[in-house]
Structure formats: C-alpha cells, structure tokens
Amino acid sequence: MNVKLKSGVNLFYKRSGIYIAGLIIVCILIGLITTVKPAYRLSSGIITSWTSDINSATFLYLLGLENHAFQQAFTKDQSFPDFSSTIFQLATSVKPDDPRSLIGNELPGFSTFDNQILIAGEGTNYTNLPFESSPPLKEVLKDRQAVINDDEEKESQESVESKNEPTTGNKNVVFLYNSHNRESFLPHLPDVTDPNHAHHKEVNITKVSERLAKTLQTKGIGTAVDHTDIMAELNKKGWDYGKSYEASREVVSEAFSTNKDIQYAFDIHRDSIGREKTTKEISGQSYARIMIVVGAEHESYERNLELATELHYMIEERYPGLSRGVLPKKGELTNGIFNQDISNNALLLEFGGVENNLDELYRSADALAEVFSEMYWNAEEVNAAS
C-alpha cells in the first residue's frame, strides 16, 4: 500500500508540475503578445497572409476529421491534401506545383505574372495572361501610315439592324473610354513589325469603342464614347506612358460627376500578345477574344468581380471560347485599380491582340453588345419588378 501510495503521490506531483509549467508558459506567451510592439504582434492580417495560399481542401479535410459531414464535399476524383507540401509551403512560401513562387522574387519583372486567374477561359493560363507594353511616349506619338480595308470601313459606318427593342431614351447609361487610346493593330500598319510600336493616332482601339457604342445603341442602350486623346494629354502634362490611368481618371471622374445616368464604365484596350491566343473561330467566322480585367487593389473590387463573372458566363453561353476569362490584377508593375473604384460597374476589357484586324474586332464588339444588352435589360426587369 505504501508503495502504491508513494507512486500515486509522485504521479500527482509530476502532473501538477506539468500543469503549472504549462500555465506559466501560457502566461508568459500572453504577456509577450500583449506587451510587444504592435508592429511585431501576430495580427489577423499576418495569419491570413500565411494561410491565404494554402489549398482550401486542407481546411476542409481538417474539419472533416471532427465532423464527417464535411468529407462528403470531396469528390471521388479529388485527392486528400499533401500535408508535407502544406508544411513546406508555410515554412518557405514556395508552392511545389507553382514555379512562380520560387523564381518570382528572384527574376526582375517576373512578379508581373503573380496574379491569380479567377476564371480561366478556353486555353487561358499563366503563360498567356494579358500583357501591356509600356513603350516610350515618343514612340506612341509618332506619325505612321495606316491602312483600312474598304469593307471594314463600310461595315463600321453602317448601322447594325435595329429591332423593336426597349430603350433608355435620351439617357446614356454606358460610358466607354480608352486609357491607351492609340493602341493599334499590326495588320493595319504596313510599315510596323514591332508590336511595341503598333500605335496610331486614328486607326486604333477607339474604333472598337465606337463600334461597341453603335451596336449598344441599336439595342436601346444609350452609350457615350469619350474621344480624349490620352496620349496627347500625357505629352502635354509631361507624364510618361505609365501614367495613362491617372490621365484617364480625370475623364472618368468628370463623366460620372456630370452625367448621373451613367451606370457602367468600360475601358477598352487591346492585348499585346500574339494572334494565336487572341483569336477564336465561331460558326465559321473569326473573332477577337475578350479578356475581362478587374483591378483588385481597392476595397469594393469584389463588386466589380461579380459583374465580370456574370458577363463572362453569359458570353461563354452565347459565344463559346470568345471570353478568355476574368483576371483580377494587383501588385507591382500594374495599376491595380484601373479607375474601377469610381464605380462597382466598371471593367477593363481587352479586345483581341496586336495581330487582330478590325473585321474580327467589330464582330466581337457586336457579340459583346448582344450579350451585355441581354444582361442589362434582364436587370432592368428585375429592378422594375422589385
């Protein structure tokens, strides 16, 4: 009995010692956390930063260990998370299946690709994301010869057949503008071979804006097109090409302040990548594909993402393959806002690329107008019913 009693007493003292030591450690940790300078504390932002890139399946699996109902969310073909990879990622910030995380901070300019594709359209991946060249302003402002096919010019001037559509009357509810208004296209610049030099004062992306506006108007949607030569404004202010969005911001802000009817604002661009990534054949005709870009560096950008997502899926339903997807952009070497903080219904639309021609771009403008008008009037019906 004495031996058992002595053993029990020793066990009690050991456990008590562990409990007391644990309590002391907890108190010390609490003291450190509450007395350390705010800059060094563990905040929710830090924890979020550590865990934001971890595969969500990991958290789902951990919840499933406690509540088996969560395990039903795993599909049959979905593998359980690799915890060794997760721990490695937490410790090094390197994703084993994403080389960008390893070399992105080492190679100058590689951080351009450090954006997450929200919705990838057909063939869209991290190797063919929209790329905006940043040429010297003097190259953009140079006079160049441009050629437009007679059929293309005629098609651009002809009115698209108007049906018995509802109308916004004399209200312009859509505003179109071009931050890079002189972006042009190699097929129309016979003396230009360098994509970085594909700029022209007249034959440029503004023609796509005009075509889109014309087709929207035939759908009953009042649309205004801004014709400010942003490049000339940059030159006048002594700004470089990288400040294009600052210059166009003045235009957009004034438009919203002077016209309370505006509900949507679209900044129309063209991409700088090759034709094979920006062209799609649909029903035997060639279209310039559209990428929807959302600036992710302002507080309400998720509202813009909602519009972008809805528009993408509607385009895909009507014209499969026309949309390249939805890309939120932030970080170094990009504006990250694109004036979209001015309105929750503002988007940047990349129409085709530097190697597309106006014929293809006009088809895409008509297709987008058709899809957007359906979305717009459906929303109007819902608002009227409510």
Q: State the Cα–Cα distance between residues 90 and 103, nearest whole angstrom.
A: 17
Q: What is the pLDDT of residue 333?
A: 75
Q: Are 314 and 375 in contact (CB under 8 A)?
A: yes
pLDDT, tens only, 187-219 = 999 999 999 999 999 999 999 999 999 999 999
Give the mean model confidence (pLDDT) for residues 172-184.
97
pLDDT band at 5 (very low <50, low <70, confident <90, very high): low
For 114-177, list the strands marked E by DSSP. Answer: 119-120, 174-177
Q: State the Cα–Cα distance between residues 187 and 286, nearest whole angstrom.
A: 14
pLDDT at 373 over 90: yes
Helix (H, G, I), strand (E, B) or coil at 328: strand
Q: What is the pLDDT of residue 314?
A: 97
CA distances (Å), origin 171, targets 155, 168, 222, 379, 386: 26, 6, 6, 17, 22
pLDDT band at 159 (very low <50, low <70, confident <90, very high): very low
CA distances (Å), origin 249, targets 337, 343, 375: 10, 12, 26
Percent of the chain with pLDDT over 70: 69
Terminal-residue alpha carbon distance, the chain: 82
Q: What is the pLDDT of residue 46?
A: 47
Whole-prediction pTM value? 0.72
pLDDT, tens only, 239-250 = 999 999 999 999
Percent of the chain with pLDDT over 90: 56
Give the mean model confidence (pLDDT) for residues 344-357.
97
pLDDT at 256 over 90: yes
CB count within 10 Å of CB 269 equals 23
pLDDT band at 33 (very low <50, low <70, confident <90, very high): low
pLDDT at 35 over 80: no
Query: Minimal CA–CA distance to 366: which of 69, 160, 141?
Result: 160
Residue 202 makes CB contacts below 8 A (sequence gap 6+) with: 146
CA distances (Å), origin 383, targets 72, 134, 173, 379: 38, 42, 15, 6
pLDDT, tens only, 36-94 = 555 555 554 445 545 555 555 566 566 666 676 666 655 554 555 565 666 666 555 55
Question: Where on the phi/psi map is residue 48: left (φ > 0), alpha (ψ -120 to 50), or beta?
Answer: alpha
- Rg over alpha carbons for the chain, rounded to the nearest Å, is 28
Its sign, for the CA torsion 307, 310, 315, 320, is positive
Q: What is the pLDDT of residue 29?
A: 75
